[in-house]
Structure 1
Amino acid sequence: MTMRTELTILGSIPEATERSKNDMKFSTELGQWVLTPIGIWPLQSNFVARIFSSSLVIVCTFLICFLLVPCGLHTFIDEKDPRLKMKMIGPLSFCLMAITKYVFLVVRKNRIRNCLRHVNVDWCRVNRPDDRDIMLESAKIGRFVASLCAAFMYGGGFFYHTIMPISAGSFVTPDNMTMRILTYSVYDPLFSAQSSPSYEIVFIIQWFSGFVMYSITIGSCTLAAVFVLHACGQLKIIMARLDAFVDSQKVQNVLENKMAEIIELHLRALGFIMQVEDILNEVCLIEFIGCTLNICFLGYYFMTEFERADTIATITYCVLLVSFTFNIFIFCCIGEMLTQQGKKVGFTAYMVKWYKLPAKNARNLILLIAMSNYPRSITAGKMAELSYNSFCSVHILLNYLHCVKNSNGLFESFKNSRIIIFS
């Protein structure tokens, strides 16, 4: 039996085993939990599943618009107090971020399905214990990142949509009208939300709308973490194959078959990274810029509420501030990990004992090293790579100082601040 027949042919799709199904579930389970309720997770391609998924998309879009439209009309038409108007611009920007990301994810659902199939095929093709261990390690990191993101975002959302309005209670206006606090104000000419049961209905709908928006943010972060960490695992497998390349028997056809397998694995990993980049680059741009703006707003809200000694509001804004900062960091962190792993492939190829190989086989490593000098990465709108440098370029502290200096108005703070988004 030749070495070629012993190798797994990359163009074929082996039968899924119970182990591969469990591994695939372990890798993508959290993403499925978050994305299925909002209609993004690709379901089986049958009529009932398509109708169900489309219905979820319609419901989720309605819920986001239920926040965005009435609150936007109230903020820019009905509200006269500049301080209260400023306080609603931040939540409105988050709504706009959420619906924009949601549209991109819905439109690219088929591409997400293709990436999931790619991941599933990689799990089915694992036939070496060491390779499976590498992939499981990457999957564990992806689950950990997704869990942290969900904990921060759902925690901040619970404070903002539940604890804050309940703890605020009600107040009496100068016109002797009792007003109850809603998370998002509504435009009175559309409907009144102060009398019962209108208040309770609006409060519940806004709560579910918040759940949808935070699920969109968590879902995009989870997709990025799962796909990018899976790609990093594939690159680690390539490096493991390179380490064992020279140790194989010095038979010409064996070396050629091993090199062919390494090249095919590398090309497959690069193709997968390109698919992920094509799906997520606009989402990453919206997330990166939107979270930066929301951090600015939250810094302002945090300072003003702190001066008013509102403990619940201060804690809520502090949690949300950490959540948005963490979101930016996660996208930049996984982008940095992918870039570094791509460079390590070339470094590993150079560090093997290539000088012990026949000249013909040693030359085959040159192209691999050259390709690794320009590794694929995740970008924000194809304008900047997501990396630690990009994260450090967001001058959060400088923006906070301007917010404190100009606490009477955030517009003036934005005009004078210098927020460098991209390096």
Structure 2
Amino acid sequence: MSDLAIPAKEINAIVLTRWLLTPLGGWPLMKKSPSTGELFIAIILQFFCYSFILFALIPAIFHIVFREKNLSAKIALCGPVGFFMMNMLKYSAIIRHRKSIKKCIEMIETDWKKVHNDKEWNIMRKNQLIGRKLTIVCASFIYTGGMSYHTVMPFLMGSPASSEYCGDDRPLVFPGYDVLFDPLITPVYEIVYFSHCFAALIIYTITTVSCNIAASFVTHASGQIEIIVEKLNSLVGEGIGPDQKCLHKKMGDIVRHHGRVIRFTRNIETAVREICLVEVFASTIIICLLEYYCLTVEKCTKSGIKKYPVFLSEFCFQTWNESETIGIITYFLLLVSLSFNIFIFCYIGELLKEKCYEAGYSAYLIDWYRLPPNTAATLILIIANAQVPRKITAGGMLDLSLSSFLTVMKTSLVYLNLLRTAEAS
């Protein structure tokens, strides 16, 4: 496949990003030249997304702060409310950093158009599939762990217990609407219930697209570094011949390519640093709450907190009579889902750091002494840049790596102990 002409469907390595951002009103902002109609539709979609999320959040927050007096019930509500708030902040970060995301998308498309041989195409395709698989796994966890319990399980398991704020035969997602109107009469109940379902769908899409943006960009950068390593390994053979003009040209191409990858990783950091900050901070708290729910589900069922069967979203507090086992399974699935999500962010941060080191290490290991002095000296640029590898950070405060993942999990356990101590006191 020399002088390879990549089909359009292969150039579009960010097809999942486009699919996920389109219903959120984000994709037209990432296009090179969106039409006025596309921008108008994007604004309308963003307005509806924020409206559905706030329609679920505002009554629940009001209920937690001003109406609910039971500490355990407040803790139970903080999980779903916190998850919705976390993803609304990530959505805002995506819209705010749309220019950096757009630059990354344009650079990805340009790199695919520059592919000229089988080896480079295979490297890029392999890394593209890694990013796609990470996205699919994240989506599988988040949608199955949330939407199934949000829409199906309440009706399969029967009517929830009665509540002083909610009816005893109709499950709601969040409490607080009874201050303004009766949410249990028809058709008001159906409108509120399906608006919560739609808000949850938006939230899960935001979670998935956040993971997709980070994974797709980092795996593409990893593929470009692997291509640079391949070029470095094939460079020594060119240095043996008497004509060095072609060698100098290839060396210049390697240095320019490496510089382009560094600029690309800087754009990635700008695009996702706030998303990662929200993800790390909020996930630590919510994982702590999920661990608490798993440990206290039986207690909660018997203590009257079951009067809130309304938590049928991502962290649904479903505690029907004799349903402790179902509750534990539910919380455990959601715990695994959120833990895996933060693991993906930490994994791609570790991957990017290792690949940046790999470029400099490969430049050092080749038989540079067989190259002309001027050409060999150029390798110093690559080695020097690799000594300070690019990283994915959470707001510039925490480098994302596998050790960071362990830190998040240990911190959640610390918060869990504090939470149980505060409840006991």
TM-score, normalised by the number of residues in structure 2? 0.87
| Residue correspondence of structure 1 range 255-270 to structure 2 within 5 A | 255-270=247-262
| Residue correspondence of structure 1 range 323-342 to structure 2 within 5 A | 323-342=337-356
Structure with larger RCO (C-alpha < 8 A, sep 6+): 2
Matched, 1:113 2:102: yes
* Deviation digits for residues 209-265 of structure 1 (CA, Å, limit 9, x no counterpart): 011111111111000000110000000000000000101153222221111000010
The alpha-carbon distance between structure 1 residues 247 and 58, as it changes in their structure 2 partners (threshold 3 A), is: same
Matched with 1:383 is 397
Matched, 1:322 2:322: no
Distance 1:163 1:351 in 2: 58
Amino-acid identity (%):
35
Matched, 1:35 2:27: no
| Residue correspondence of structure 1 range 228-377 to structure 2 within 5 A | 228-249=218-239, 250=241, 251-306=243-298, 308=301, 309-377=323-391
- Letter in structure 1 aligned against 2:19: W
Distance 2:82 2:16 in 1: 27
Local SS of the residue matching 2:379: helix
Matched, 1:24 2:11: yes
Matched, 1:139 2:123: no
Distance 1:140 1:97 in 2: 28
Query: Unaligned 5+ residue runs, structure 2?
Result: 302-322
Matched with 1:103 is 92
> Which segment drifts farther, 155-164 or 97-106?
155-164
- Letter in structure 2 aligned against 1:110: K
Local SS of the residue matching 1:394: helix
Deviation at 1:402, TM superposition (A): 7.0
1:90 to 76, 79, 83: 79
The alpha-carbon distance between structure 1 residues 173 and 228, as it changes in their structure 2 partners (threshold 3 A), is: closer
The alpha-carbon distance between structure 1 residues 265 and 74, as it changes in their structure 2 partners (threshold 3 A), is: same
Distance 2:401 2:165 in 1: 54
* Deviation digits for residues 96-135 of structure 1 (CA, Å, limit 9, x no counterpart): 1111111111122233222111111110111111111100
The alpha-carbon distance between structure 1 residues 243 and 414, as it changes in their structure 2 partners (threshold 3 A), is: farther
The alpha-carbon distance between structure 1 residues 411 and 54, as it changes in their structure 2 partners (threshold 3 A), is: farther
Matched with 2:52 is 63
CA contact (8 A) 1:402 1:413 kept: no
Matched, 1:48 2:37: yes
Matched with 2:422 is 412
CA contact (8 A) 1:138 1:233 kept: yes
Distance 2:331 2:191 in 1: 25
Local SS of the residue matching 2:161: strand
Query: Unaligned 5+ residue runs, structure 1?
Result: 1-7, 9-15, 416-423
CA contact (8 A) 1:86 1:410 kept: no
TM-score, normalised by the number of residues in structure 1? 0.88
- Letter in structure 1 aligned against 2:345: F
Deviation at 1:279, TM superposition (A): 0.8
Q: What is the total number of aligned residue pairs between the two structures?
A: 395
Measured on the aligned residues, the alpha-carbon RMSD in Å equals: 2.4
